[in-house]
A and B are shown apart, each in its own frame.
Chain A
Amino acid sequence: MLIAVLAAWLLFPVYWLFLTSLKTDAQTFVYPPLFVFGPTFNAWSAVLSQSVWLGYLSNSLITTVAGSTLALLIGVPAAYALAFFPVKRKESILFSFLSIRFIPPIVLLLPYFIIFSAIGLENTLQGLILVYVMIGLPFVIWIMHGFFVTLPHDLLDAASIDGASEAQTMYKIALPVALPSLVVSFLISAIFMWNEFPFALILTGEESRTTPPAITAYGISYFGIHYNLVGVVGLLSMVPMMLIALVAQRYLIKGLTMGIVKG
C-alpha cells in the first residue's frame, strides 16, 4: 500500500491546516498536539467577517485576473506571429522568453523597488500588475506557440484567399480552435500570479497587499498569533487554486512546463 503512504504524505499538511483552522485559540497551544477534538468555527467566522482579509484576497484576485488578461493580449499575437510569420531569429526570441521565466526574482527586485518608488508605483496594484504581466508572458507565448505550430496552414490559407487580413484570420479562425490552450495559458499564469511572493512582499504596502505576503507576515509575527486564523486564510487562499487544478488537471503539467511537456 505504498500508494496509501504517498497519498497520506501529500495530504497531511492540508489536513493539519484544516484541523488547526477548526481549533479554538486554546486548543492550538496544547501539547501533545490535538488530533481529536470538538471543532469550532470561530476562526472561520472571524476571518470571513474581517474586511482586511477580504481586501487581501480581492487584491490577489485583481492582480491575477488583470495580469493574466494583459499577458494574453500581448502574448497571443506574438505567439501567432512566431508560429506563422517568417520572423528572423525566431528561436532566439522564443528562448529569450524562456529565460525570463528563469530570472531570479530577487535580481529584479532591487531595481523595481528603487524605480517604482521613484515613479510612485510602489504600493499600487498597477505596479504589481505590470510586473505580473512580465511573469505571465513566457507561459502564454510558449504554450500558445506550441499550439499554433500544430495548426495546418491550409486552414489559414483558406481565410486569406477569401480576403481576410492577418488579424481577422487570427481572430476568426485560429483563436476559436485555440480556446483550450488559451484557457490553459490564462489559468497557469493565474496560478503563478496568485501564488507569487517576493515581488508582492517588497512592492506592496498595506493597501495593495496580496494574500501570500499578508498570510506570512501574520503567521510569522511572534505576538498574539492565532494559528487557527492562519489555518483559515491558508486554506481560503488555496481554494481557487484547487479549483483550477480540478478544471485543468490534464493540462497542468503542460502549462507548468510552458508546453514543453505535452502531458
Chain B
Amino acid sequence: MGFLLRSRRKGHRVFLSPALFYPVPLILFPLLYLLYASLQSWSLPGTPQFAGLSNYIALLSANDFYYSLFVTLVFTAVAVGIELVLGLSFALLLFGEGKVVKVVRLVSLIPLVWAPAVVALDWRLIYDTSFGPVNFILRSLGFGIIDIFSTSGQGLSQWIGILVVDLWQWTPFVSLILLSGLYSIGLDIYESARVDGGSSLQIFRRITLPLLRPAVIIALLFRTVDALRTFDNVFVLTNGGPGIATETLSMQVYRYTFHFFNIGYGAAESIVFGILVAAITGTIILTFKETILRGV
C-alpha cells in the first residue's frame, strides 16, 4: 500500500501530462478548426467567408453524398459479414498444432503487415485488363472481365474487385482474432462436452460459438471502423471510378477537399463523416465496454 499512498503526489501529473497534452494540438485543435472551416464558404485559392450552415445544407441535399453514404455502409456490412464468416472458417482450419498449420498461420500474417496501399497496387497489377492473371483466367473460363480501369458502367465489377482485395487483406486479421478466442476457450470444456456425448455440430453451436462471442465482438469493432474508413484500396484501385461509382465517404471527402479544393464543403462532409463513424463506433464500444476492457 505504501506505493499507492506515496504516488498521490506529483508523480502522475508528470507521467501523464505529455500524453494528455499531445492530442490537444494534434486532435482537438484540428477538429475545432475543421468545425470553423465547415462554416465558411471557402475554396482555394481564396479566403474564407462566413457562410453559416450553408455547406451542411448543400451536403445534406447532395445526391452524391447519399450515394456515397449508401455504398460505404453497404460495403462495410458486406465486407465485415463475409470476413467474419470466412475468418471463422479459416480459424477452424488453422486450429491445431501440426507443422503445416503453424506454417500457414505464419503465412497468414503476410496480408496484415503489408501496406494496404501496396497490396492494392499489387492487385491492380493482378487485375490488369490486358496482362493480368485474373482476367486471363476469367476470359479462359468464358466470364466477363473485371475492368478496374473502366470509365463506364455501374461499378459492380469494380466493387467486387475492391471487395476481393479487402477480403484478402483482412480475413486473416479476423481469423487470427477468432483463433485466439478458440484457444482461450480451453480444451477441458471440449473434453467434458464430448464425455457428455455431444456431437461436433452440437458442441460447435452450443459451446464454441457462444464462448467466441468476445472475440467476434473485437473483430467486429476493428473491422467495422476500418471498413467505414476505406480509402487506400479504393484510391489505388479505382480512384472512386467509374465516375464516382466506387466512391466511399473517405474518397468523397478527398475529392472535394483535394481535387476541387472546396475547403468549406470538404470540412462539413468530414464532420458529418466523423460523426457517423463516432456514432457507430461509440455504440459498439459502449455496448461491449466490459468485453473490450477485459479482453479476449
Q: Residues of A with Cβ closer than 8 Å to B?
A: 2-3, 6-7, 9-14, 16-17, 20, 28-33, 35, 73-75, 77-78, 80-82, 84-87, 91, 93-100, 102-115, 130-131, 133-134, 137, 141, 146, 153, 156-157, 159-161, 165-167, 169-170, 191, 194-198, 202, 211-213, 215-216, 219-220, 227, 230-231, 234, 237-238, 241-242, 244-246, 249, 252-253, 256-257, 259-263
Choose from A86, A94, A219, A261 the contact partner of B180 (Cβ within 8 Å).
A261
Instruction: Please classify how large the interface on chain B is, using the bins under 10, 10 to 19, 20 to 34, 35 or more.
Output: 35 or more
Q: Does residue B76 face the partner (Cβ distance < 8 Å to A)?
A: no
* Contact yes or no, B19 A105, CB < 8 A: no
A245 with B112, Cβ < 8 A, contacts A6-B93, A85-B7 known: yes
Cα of A199 to Cα of B93 in the assembled complex, Å:
37
Among B51-59, B201-209, B266-274, the stretch in contact with A: B266-274
| Contact, CB under 8 Å: A115 / B19 | no
Decide yes or no whether B236 CB sits under 8 A from chain A: yes
Q: How far is the CB of A9 from chain B (nearest CB, A)?
A: 7
**Complex: A107 Cα to B250 Cα, angstroms:** 8
A32 and B137 CA atoms in complex are apart in Å by: 9
Report which of B116, B124, B125, B285 forms a contact with A98, defined as CB distance below 8 A.
B285
Flag if A234 contacts B273 (CB, 8 Å). no
Report how far A141 CA is from B104 CA in the complex, Å: 31
Q: How far is the CA of A213 from the CA of B179 in the complex (A)?
A: 33
User: Which residue of the partner chain, among B33, B104, B292, contacts A7 with CB atoms under 8 Å?
Assistant: B104
Smallest beta-carbon distance A239→chain B, Å: 11
Q: Are B121 and A215 in contact (CB under 8 A)?
A: yes
Q: B87 CB to closest chain A CB, in angstroms?
A: 12
CA distance A163 to B249 in the complex (A): 56
- Contact present for B257 and A111 (CB under 8 Å): no
Question: Please, which residues of chain B bring their CB within 8 A of the CB of A106?
Answer: 229, 231, 250, 253-254, 257, 270, 273
Sample of 28 A–B contacts (CB below 8 Å): A3-B100, A31-B131, A32-B136, A73-B18, A75-B19, A78-B16, A84-B3, A93-B20, A106-B257, A110-B257, A110-B266, A112-B30, A114-B263, A115-B30, A146-B295, A157-B1, A166-B11, A170-B15, A191-B113, A198-B232, A216-B120, A219-B236, A220-B239, A245-B110, A249-B109, A253-B177, A253-B179, A261-B218
Which residues in B have their C-beta under 8 angstroms from that of A78? 15-16, 18-20
Interface residues of B in 229-258 (CB under 8 A from A): 229, 231-232, 235-236, 239, 249-250, 253-254, 257-258
Complex: chain B residue closest to A195, CB-CB: B115
B234 CB to closest chain A CB (Å) equals 11
* CB-defined contacts of A12 to chain B, threshold 8 Å: 126
Closest to A253 in B: B176
Contact B19 A77 (CB under 8 A): yes
Indicate if the CB atoms of A198 and B136 lie closer than 8 Å.
no
B113 engages A234 (CB within 8 Å): no
B31 on interface, CB distance cutoff 8 Å: yes
Bound Cα distance A252, B111 (Å): 12
Please give, as numbers and ranges, the residues of chain B lying within 8 Å of A6 by CB-CB distance.
90, 93-94, 104, 108
A81–B11 Cα distance when bound, in Å, is 8
For the complex, what is the distance from the CA of A133 to the CA of B229, rounded to whole Å? 20
In the complex, are the beta carbons of B104 and A3 less than 8 A apart?
yes
Tell me if B16 and A82 are in contact (CB < 8 A).
yes
Interface residue stretch chosen among B21-29, B151-159, B192-200: B21-29
CB pair A257–B218 under 8 Å, yes or no, is yes
Q: Once bound together, how far apart are the Cα atoms of A43 and B193, in whole Å?
A: 58
B75 at the interface (CB under 8 A from A): no
Smallest CB gap from A166: residue in B: B11
Give Cα distance in the complex from A219 to B172, angstroms: 26
Known: A81-B11, A106-B273, A157-B2. A74 touches B126 (CB 8 A): no
Contact of A110 among B93, B126, B228, B270 (CB under 8 A): B270
Q: Is B130 an interface residue (CB 8 A)?
A: yes
B215 within 8 A of A: yes
Nearest A residue to B9 via CB reads A166
Please tell me if B191 contacts chain A, counting CB pairs below 8 Å.
Answer: no
Given contacts A30-B131, A160-B6, contact A230 B121 (CB under 8 A): yes
**CB pair B12 A104 closer than 8 Å:** no
Q: Which residues of A contact B123 (CB under 8 A)?
A: 13
Q: Chain A residues with Cβ under 8 A from B22's Cβ? A: 74, 133-134, 137
A105: B residues at CB distance < 8 A: 229, 231, 250
Do the beta carbons of B250 and A104 come within 8 Å of each other?
yes
Contact residue among A11, A73, A141 (Cβ-Cβ distance under 8 Å from B110): A11
Known A-B contacts A99-B281, A157-B2, A238-B114; the reply to A17 vs B27 at CB < 8 A is no
Partner of B15, one of A31, A103, A166, A262: A166
Chain A residues contacting B282 (CB-CB under 8 Å) are: 99
B-side contacts of A82, CB under 8 Å: 16
Tell me whether A134 and B27 are in contact in the complex, defined as CB-CB below 8 angstroms, given that A84-B7, A107-B274, A115-B33 are known contacts. Answer: yes
**A86 contacts which of B4, B30, B124, B281 (Cβ < 8 Å)?**
B4
| CB of A1, distance to nearest CB on chain B (Å) | 10
> A182 CA to B1 CA in the complex, in Å?
26
